[in-house]
Amino acid sequence: MRTWRNLSFRIKMVLVFSATIIITLIIATTVHTVQFFSYSYHNMMGYMQLLTEQTLLNYEIEMEAIAQRLISQLINRQIPTHMYKLLHFEQGTERYYRQVRALTDALNQMINIHSGYDNVYLRLTNGQSYSNAHFDSHFAVVADELLSQHYGEKAYGAASWIRTEDGEIYLLRDAYNQFPFQYVGKVVVRIRSADLSSLTDYSDDFESAVVLLDEDGKAVAMTGAAVEGMLEGAEMVYAQSASSWKFNQNYSVIYVKGENWTAVGLMPQSIPKSMLRSAIYTSLIIALICAVFGTLLVALVTRSMTRRIQQLVHFMDKVSAGNLDMIVPVESQDEIGQLSVHFNTVVGKISELMVRVVEEANQKNRAEYEMLKYKYHSLQSQINPHFIYNALEVVNALGKLSGQQQICEVVSNISTFFRYNMRNMQKHFITVQEEFESLKQYASIYCHIYGDILSTPFTIESNVQQALIPTMILQPILENALTHGISAEKAVVSLKAFMAESGQLCLQVRDNGQGIAPEVIERISNGENEVSAENTHAKSSVGMRNVYDRLKLIYGEHMIFDVKSRLNEGTLVSIIVPLIFDEKELNL
Torsion of CA 148, 150, 155, 160, to 10 degrees: -90
pLDDT over 90 at 183, yes or no: yes
* More confidently predicted of 390 and 318: 318
Q: Is residue 462 part of a domain?
A: yes
Q: How far apart are CA 31 and CA 478, in angstroms?
A: 94
Nearest to 415 by CA among 442, 448, 443: 442
What is the average pLDDT across 308-332? Answer: 76
| pLDDT one-digit tens code per residue, 30-44 | 776 767 666 776 777
Would you state the pLDDT for residue 458? 93
The percentage of the chain sitting over the pLDDT mark of 90, rounded to a whole number, equals 18
Q: Is residue 188 part of a domain?
A: yes
Q: Is residue 453 part of a domain?
A: yes
Q: How far apart are CA 317 and CA 323, in angstroms?
A: 9
Would you state the pLDDT for residue 533? 39
CATH code, domain with 182 = 3.30.450
Predicted structure pTM score:
0.39
Q: Helix, strand or coil for residue 423?
A: helix
Would you state the pLDDT for residue 101? 92
- DSSP type of residue 249: S
* More confidently predicted of 433 and 533: 433
Would you state the pLDDT for residue 531? 42
* More confidently predicted of 87 and 313: 87
Split at pLDDT 50, 70, 90, the class of 103 is: very high
CATH code, domain with 523 = 3.30.565.10
Q: Residue 544: which residues within 8 A CB-CB, separation 6 or more?
A: 476, 477, 480, 524, 563, 573
DSSP conformation letters of 365-382: HHHHHHHHHHHHHHHHHT
Cα atoms in the 13 Å half-sphere on the side-chain side of 162: 20
Domain boundary among 197, 214, 244: 197
CA angle 19, 23, 26 (to 5 degrees): 145
Nearest to 188 by CA among 285, 67, 273, 94: 67
| pLDDT one-digit tens code per residue, 478-495 | 888 888 767 657 888 999
Judged by phi (left if over 0) then psi (alpha if -120 to 50, else beta), residue 404 lies in beta
Q: Is residue 305 part of a domain?
A: no
Domain boundary among 136, 165, 197: 197
Q: How far apart are CA 264 and CA 266, in angstroms?
A: 7
Strands 250-257 and 182-191: unpaired
The percentage of the chain sitting over the pLDDT mark of 70, rounded to a whole number, equals 82
256 in Cβ contact with 49 (< 8 Å): yes
Domain count of the chain?
2
Mean pLDDT of the chain: 80
Q: How far apart are CA 17 and CA 26, in angstroms?
A: 14
Q: Is residue 490 part of a domain?
A: yes
Q: Is residue 176 part of a domain?
A: yes
Q: What is the largest CA-CA distance in the chain?
A: 149
Nearest to 296 by CA among 531, 575, 18, 3: 18
Which of 128-142, 152-166, 225-239, 396-410 has the weakest average pLDDT?
396-410
* More confidently predicted of 522 and 466: 466
From first CA to last CA, the distance across the chain in angstroms is 53
The C-alpha R_g of the chain, in whole angstroms, comes to 51
160 in Cβ contact with 186 (< 8 Å): no
Q: What is the extent of the structural domain holding 120? A: 77-197
Write phi, then psi, for 161 (nearest 5 degrees).
-110, 125
Helix 9-76 vs helix 271-320: angle between axes, to the nearest 10 degrees?
120
* More confidently predicted of 512 and 367: 512
Split at pLDDT 50, 70, 90, the class of 187 is: very high
Domain boundary among 197, 231, 263: 197
Nearest to 29 by CA among 279, 290, 289, 272: 279
pLDDT over 70 at 108, yes or no: yes
Torsion of CA 411, 416, 418, 421, to 10 degrees: -160
